[in-house]
Chains A and B, each alone.
Chain A
């Protein structure tokens, strides 16, 4: 008797979680301007309208530059921190790791405003670069979390064997460790990319005149006539996110299988 209750509850909960992204394509393909049931009919006109929007393409380009740069930078920083914290003991580790992981729970607005204050005080012009600085900061904790589990499942004796066979620490890292944690690195890149694409607060505070996709969408929601096209764009973004996440999950699992660890599941 107990099992079905929980199962039904969990399925209802999943419906609650998926309701928004399930409704998104329904209205993106609906021909009516009014975002409400009953549906008027199937149409791809909002996708066509979206593709004719030059400002949107400029925002998309800015987003892409930011997302690619910040995911690469954050993953590099993540590799260093995750490796250091799983392999070595050193004084002050708890404090340093706490600081690095802090943006994960610190409200984005605090991160954004404190960076803004410093950048303005230093006379730095707001641009794509300043958004990247902020995004690296908030992506790094996620990268560290993913990579820590990748490095943790490494067997230290593999590294020792490489040393015994005459490899230097650097070549050991390149030949033994890196291939084993590569799936974790790919997974981290994809997750950071997804976070950066979706991020709004930092992008709007630190972007200056450079509008990125999330900021553009946010602005367009003020105009009812623009909403359907934004839902079409949203449908594409959600599909892209799900594809990237699925690939990331695949790599994460492969990495765990490679090092022979037990899968505890989850990115966080």
Chain B
């Protein structure tokens, strides 16, 4: 009995030290993240006042507007479609890179490769997006000049600028490391002897990959999908700079409502709706994957 109570005491003191140590960071996150998010949630069911701020009057109209008016639905739908496309493109392009670094690069060089992959991600986002728009994909951009130089087209293509395609390319570039790193980590965890076993048992390399490596790295792929999907839905810089106000996404709409129209409640309702949809999609995705992975066993 004495030992249990001592053990309990130690454990309790460990819990107490842990909580004490984390409390400043936790408090900061609660005050400046959780509380503001809760405020947005409350604002979304209030009424917009004539000037900045809301009238404390319960009101479901904001949500009715966001979910029924064509302009909001169009923006929401576009954001989701762009995000789906970006996620698919980014993760598919990233997988072979993660595979190469994990399986074909000597262990001592791996962190150098990862470092090389992450560098562009850390350099000014605004400037990178502008270069995509102005220099690479633009009317007089590098791609058009190459296409005309090779003789594939006689006139610059309009189709690659100021549209959804350009937004997708730019976002796929921006979020590349978010996809590569989780897949890499899951590939690194795979016991290499399993692959040898697969080969020894007469499977081809490709089938071993399909039946051993890919299923074992699914956790990383799922993480990559979520980490790319969630922030791209709300990306602001790329649709603003590339779309030039013509192809707005959710973030632009929120910005317009909150800063230009001063409709805080409506802006909040858009944000909450978007995050809600994202959450539901992620949960459905996780659920489908659990079923899928369960069937694999």
Contacts and interface: CB of A to CB of B under 8 A. Distances in A.
B177 A268 contact: yes
A214 B126 contact: yes
Contacts of A50: none
A14 B230 contact: no
B181 interface: yes
Given A9-B96, A117-B36, A87 B140 contact: no
Nearest to A8: B100
Contacts of B93: 13
B122 A105 contact: no
A241 interface: yes
Contacts, number: 266
B275 interface: yes
B101 A10 contact: yes
B21 A117 contact: no
B142 interface: yes
Interface in B95-137: 96-97, 99-101, 104, 110-111, 113-120, 122-128, 130-132, 134-136
Contacts of B236: 107-109, 200-201
Main secondary structure of the interface of B (DSSP, over half): helix
A37 interface: yes
Contacts of A7: 100, 104
B50 interface: no
B15 interface: yes
Contacts of A201: 236-237, 251
Interface string A1-16: 0110011011001101
Contact of A90 (B19, B138, B185, B267): B19
A109 B116 contact: no
B38 to A, nearest CB: 9
Interface residues of A, number: 90
Contacts of B5: none
A106 B18 contact: no
In the complex, which of the residues B26, B128, B178 has the most CB atoms of chain A within 10 Å of its own CB atom? Answer: B26
Contact of B18 (A21, A88, A105, A200): A88
B29 A99 contact: yes
A227 B131 CA distance: 10
B212 interface: no
Given A89-B18, A108-B234, A249-B115, A114 B26 contact: no
Interface string A229-252: 011001001100110010001000
B113 to A, nearest CB: 8
Contacts of B15: 88-91
B227 A105 contact: yes
Interface in A241-268: 241-242, 245, 249, 253, 263-268
Contacts of B111: 249, 253, 263-266
Interface of B: 11, 14-19, 21-22, 24-26, 28-30, 32-37, 39-40, 43, 52-53, 93, 96-97, 99-101, 104, 110-111, 113-120, 122-128, 130-132, 134-136, 138, 140-142, 145, 173, 176-178, 181, 184-185, 188, 205, 226-227, 230-231, 233-237, 241, 250-251, 254-255, 258-259, 264, 267-268, 271, 275
Please name the 4 residue pairs, one residue from A and one from B, whose CB atoms are nearest each other, closest first: A107-B234, A88-B18, A265-B111, A90-B18
14 contacts: A9-B100, A23-B131, A36-B135, A81-B22, A84-B19, A89-B14, A99-B26, A107-B231, A110-B37, A117-B40, A197-B124, A221-B126, A266-B181, A268-B181
